[in-house]
Amino acid sequence: MAQNDAKTPVGENSSNNSDEKFLNMASLLEKEGLGIDLPKAGEIRTGTIASISPGQILISVGAKSEGLISGREFELIPPEEFASFEVGQELPVYVITVEDSNGNLLLSYVRAVEESSWDKAEEIFKNKETYKGKVVGYNKGGLLVAFDKLRGFVPSSQLSYERLKEAVGSTPEDRYGKMIGTDMEVSAIEVDRERHRLILSERLACGETRDAIREKVIEDLEVGEIMTGKITSVANFGVFVNVNGADGLVHVSELSWGELTDPSEKFKVGQSVKVKVISIDQEKKRIGLSIRQLEDDPWAKKVENLKVGMLVEAIITNLTKFGAFAKVQDDIEGLVHISELSDAHITHPKEVLHEGEKVTLRIIKIEPDSHRIGLSLRRVESAAYADMDMKILKQELENSDIHVSTPEDSESDQEHTSDQAE
């Protein structure tokens, strides 16, 4: 006798088979003129509470069918809503399966109301309408807004200009905490029921375009203002940072005091950074920002012992047609312009200096912003600096307990001698 080796599938396939049995039964009854509106998996029905007991609710869904809300679906019901349930009350329910392994019709209240909310979200998205909800939470990327029985996400880039101005602080709590409980008018810009993804926009709801926001931001910005923004793009020439809804550029030269050839090594999209506004081009609608200007300049620390007018020992490192470069201390160089080499006319620095030569030079300018030091050879013996040189020399010698006579000392000695003669 031939044996039948086919096995009945279990688990999810068993559930599918049960659904098929129900559908086949419904089809058979339909043919016999005894059509009964049996529940179908995935549909939403209006049921009536038949009984409420610990851990489950029995729901009558017509056609002499009763289903259960139990387990996780029971636990998901908000406590304040469950407290209002009573026998005889009508409830929307979602049919999870028409027959589980125990033969029960399984239902969900939460999924039913969520499906209704998704319908509303899709309708608003389709018709380009707006919805007023309350801010119920936040994360580092933006705000969470209650949308009927769902929660929609409003990215910081989709907040209105006025709200963005309020969102200041170094942490999400500082930026968004005070907005919890406030009303927000939003439009839907992405509705994905399967991925449970609802993206909303306040900016779109209030009719603000990107260009309009940019103009407002530029009007309100001031050079020197310090702000916190988020990196939106990283390129080899710098990074773009969004401040109050408008992107500004931090050129690679303004990213760090040190040499940085690849910005992506240090900066990432989505990273929050503090920036200083260094330029605003009203005509071209461009914002120039700086990160390095908010950090201590190591160059300034290195040259803090150097002063304009002082003499320094330096080594000539390079000769060019416009002057000579000289190292005045470790990794600090200055320029002796050709006009500062000699009182006599020369056509090239090599007529006066040689690379590697050690010379005494005078500092004539220090420019912290451009990291430049101006040096002079011809002013080393300058009469304009003679008095200062003498005072510096006297100070140095006094510190070493050696006395040196200055013009002032000579005059004092003469007066003392005159007094003794009298």
The CA radius of gyration of the chain, in Å to the nearest whole number, is: 40
Give pLDDT, residue 20.
Answer: 59
* Domains of the chain, residue spans: 14-114, 128-205, 220-294, 299-385
Task: Report the C-alpha gap between 196 and 115 in whole angstroms.
Answer: 11
Give pLDDT, residue 28.
Answer: 54
Could you tell me the pTM of the whole model? 0.50
Answer whether CATH 2.40.50.140 is correct for domain 220-294.
yes
Give pLDDT, residue 421.
Answer: 43
CB pairs under 8 A, 24+ apart, for 300-304?
Answer: 300/368, 302/329, 302/330, 302/331, 302/332, 303/332, 303/366, 303/368, 303/373
User: C-alpha distances in angstroms, 157 versus 154, 161, 164, 207, 295?
Assistant: 8, 10, 9, 14, 27
Give pLDDT, residue 417.
Answer: 44
- pLDDT mean by block of 10 residues, the chain; 422 residues: 41 51 54 62 89 92 84 90 92 89 90 90 93 93 92 91 83 91 94 93 84 82 90 92 89 88 90 92 90 88 88 94 92 92 91 93 90 91 73 71 51 48 43
Give pLDDT, residue 297.
Answer: 86
**Class of the CATH domain delimited by 299-385:** mainly beta
Give pLDDT, residue 60.
Answer: 92
Q: Please say whether the dihedral angle defined by the alpha carbons of residues 252, 257, 261 and 263, taken in this order, is positive or negative.
A: negative
Pick the CATH number of 128-205 from 2.40.50.140, 1.10.3720.10, 1.10.620.20, 3.90.870.10: 2.40.50.140
Domains 128-205 and 220-294 equal at CATH topology level: yes
302-323 in b/e burial notation, b at 16+ Cβ within 10 A?
Answer: ebeeeeeeebbebebeebeeeb
3-state secondary structure of 357: coil
Domain covering 14-114 in this structure, CATH number? 2.40.50.140
Give pLDDT, residue 401.
Answer: 58
